[in-house]
Amino acid sequence: MIEIVRGEHDTGPPKHSEHLKDLKHDFLASIVVFLVAVPLSLGVAFAAGAPLLSGLISAVVGGLVASLFGGSPLQVSGPSAALTVVLADTIATHGWPVTCAITVAAGLLQIFFGLTRAARAALAVSPAIVHGLLAGIGVTLVLGQLHVVLGGSAQGSALANVLALPGQVAGHHDKAVLIGVVTLGVLLAWPRLPAAVRRVPAPLAAVALATGLSVVTGMTLARVDLPAGLPPLHIVPRLPDGGWGSFAVAAVTIALIAGLESLLSAVSVDKLRGGRRTDLDRELIGQGAANVAAGALGGFPVTGVIVRSMTNYEAGARTRASAVLHCGWILAACLLFTGVLRLIPLAALAALLVYVGTKLVNLNGLKEVRRHGDLPVYVVTLAGAVAVNLLTGVAAGVLFALALMLRRMIFSGIHVERDGERHRVVIEGALTFLSVPRLTRVLAEVPLHAEVTLELHVDFLDHAAFDCLRGWQQAHAGCVTVDEIGHPWFGRGRSGKPTVRRSVAARVVPRWLAPWSQWQAEHVVLPAQRTASSLLCRGASEFQRRTAPLLRDTWSGLAHGQQPHTLFITCGDARIVPNLITTSGPGDLFTVRNIGNLVPPAGGTDSSVGAAIEYAVGVLEVAEIVVCGHSGCGAMKALLGRAPAGLDQLGSWLRHGDATLRRRSREAPLLLGGERPAAEADQLALQNVVQQLETLRGYPVVAAALDRGALRLTGMYFDVGAAQVSLLDAAARGFVPAGALEH
């Protein structure tokens, strides 16, 4: 199934019905987020020692500005618990009016960071840290809100919540527990109800039912406490009379903390949205504008709040309209519906937060983190977020991830393999000065007079590691061969060249593509041993060690038969490697090679090529026959009268090229890439490909397959010097680059 998702920046206008459908989801989600945002905004302001009104100002003004100008469409902004400790100290030091000015300054700094594209650094945060952060927030929410569900109040820290939880459970707060259980029961059962019922979001239904039950039964419970109205604004920002240093430090601290939480929240929401990436610089600018507006009106600093954003997503929000609407509901509630909101039991909202918190502990994400070996980073981040605070958890996760990366660099893959009297020291990964102690220890285990191969699969080799290897190679009494796989770090260092790769253009051809004469030239081989036989044997050994394990499953599937898709007829020239120039592998090509890629006429005396054609088409039922010529072909030069003397068999074979010579004399020259080849032999090679295709049509088995539409004939030409494959194109009166025909 293919799913088409309309992005926020799609150029085509959505249909009117889609607008209405999105608005319906956003409308309902905004109410759910509003119900969560009101008590959280008041609670955060109270915890920091700020005026309670400041929390509502931030939720309305700051949330609205951030929603309109931010980059994350589903992010919901407002007062955040991550800033309570910093704000409490700032308020105690400077007072609330100066703190409002600090908030404005922090917002301006965030706008500056966004304009300078500093927000991209958030993308460097490991997914393990993001998942650990979400899990930490979820655990903290559950631990704190369970107390409210039980009729009590959350403690000041996660540890205090854990220690006080047994006492809360023993208290038997039956009414609060009943409301909490009802709320959780509705949330859990709602997805299993009929679709018509599920049109109402589960969080909204759960809170409404729990509130109705508490009102009908006349329960005495702690309920939402709101101001009677929105009083006149008297607080305005004020600059300090002195202490500008602490003022600047506070502004930078709030800007960094609020910015980091907002960006991490946006990244986390992106993961839930299928990886669609938010414009983080725009998000940071939007958050900065929100802080400027909130601070100017006497509000609490604003961040993108992960709890509200996740609640917004879980409630089914589609666009930023949900976050905008939730600001309007908060303002309307403060002005018009205070009495209704005061009926909502805190236990119902707490149960909703418990549910949201458990959803933040993503087990699938945890499995993915574990699969990639980053579980320790996840655990450290989670523990830091729960035990201390959100930013401590993130900082601990980042530091631990860096330490883990350093450890992986120190413990490069170094081991010794023994084959009889020979020893092979295999080194993998980045080999730096950090690995030298372990490298020295492993090399010391090799017997002094043993014949050794140093097999280097290294991503980087620094000066210290090079000196260690070079010194050991010179000091070792036995023969030492250095076998580098990939970039020649050691070889460059040994020749006095810089070992640092300065450009991505400094590429090395993988040895399974390069001729053995190139990659084996790097090894120390005695002159008496430099024979084709010994080199080919070393190549076979190389295949057995590296390539065979990778392709064993492929060859296992081919063990009982072949089903090639192409008969490939080409020259025996050593420069032509059919599988390489066609990017094919075992079982793909049924290959026939001879001098000049010639096809003798059907019914002639030479049956070798004919037999291969009949077998490929009649038995293997290939779908295509390719005739491939090439530049600088010796056979074409011989046809032009430059054949070596005294080679009777070669002369006899080249008589099959007489038809090509006749074609050359009567047909117009063929073009290669729009131009006529300068060399006469290359022009003849082009004509030869076309002629052999014509000869193929004379084979009965080929003609029958062509009539059935079961076979295709293709002409190919390989320019050796340019490494360019071209295909025959009748419309172009010649051969065109292979890529051109694909378009």
Distance CA 334, CA 381 (A): 37
- Pull the structure tokens for residue 594: 């001879």
Name the active-site residue from 26, 281, 573, 719: 573
DSSP letters of 633-667? Answer: -HHHHIIIIIPPTT-HHHHHHHGGGHHHHHHHHHS
Name the active-site residue from 173, 633, 656, 719: 633
Neighbours of 455 (CB within 10 A): 18
- Pull the structure tokens for residue 193: 């109800």
Name the active-site residue from 100, 468, 571, 628: 571
Q: Torsion over CA of 440, 443, 444 and 449, rounded to 10 degrees?
A: -150
The phi and psi torsions of 641 (rounded to 5 degrees) equal: 100, 15
Crossing angle of helices 127-149/244-272, nearest 10°?
Answer: 100
19 as an active site residue: the answer is no
Encoded amino acid at 529, one letter: Q
Contact 341, 224 (CB under 8 A): yes
Among residues 228, 208, 217, 245, the alpha carbon closest in space to that of 93 is found at 245
Distance CA 128, CA 135 (A): 10
Q: How far is CA 207 from CA 201, 311, 420, 637, 707, in A?
A: 10, 14, 75, 89, 74
Q: Which residue has the tokens 């059907």?
A: 602
Name the active-site residue from 575, 642, 662, 676: 575
575 as an active site residue: the answer is yes
Using DSSP, state whether 49 is helix, strand or coil. Answer: coil
Encoded amino acid at 129, one letter: I
Residue 105 makes CB contacts below 8 A (sequence gap 6+) with 247, 248, 251, 255
**Residue 238 burial class via C-beta count within 10 angstroms: exposed 0-12, middle 13-18, buried 19 and up:** middle
Pairing verdict, β 413-419 and 422-431 = antiparallel
Name the active-site residue from 630, 656, 682, 719: 630
Distance CA 198, CA 204 (A): 11
334 as an active site residue: the answer is no
The phi and psi torsions of 722 (rounded to 5 degrees) equal: -95, -5
Distance CA 150, CA 171 (A): 8
Among residues 112, 98, 527, the alpha carbon closest in space to that of 289 is found at 112
Distance CA 490, CA 495 (A): 9
DSSP letters of 520-550? Answer: GGGS---GGG--HHHHHHHHHHHIIIIIHHH
Q: How far is CA 546 from CA 171, 424, 510, 532, in A?
A: 68, 14, 12, 21
Q: Which residues are catalytic?
A: 571, 573, 575, 630, 633
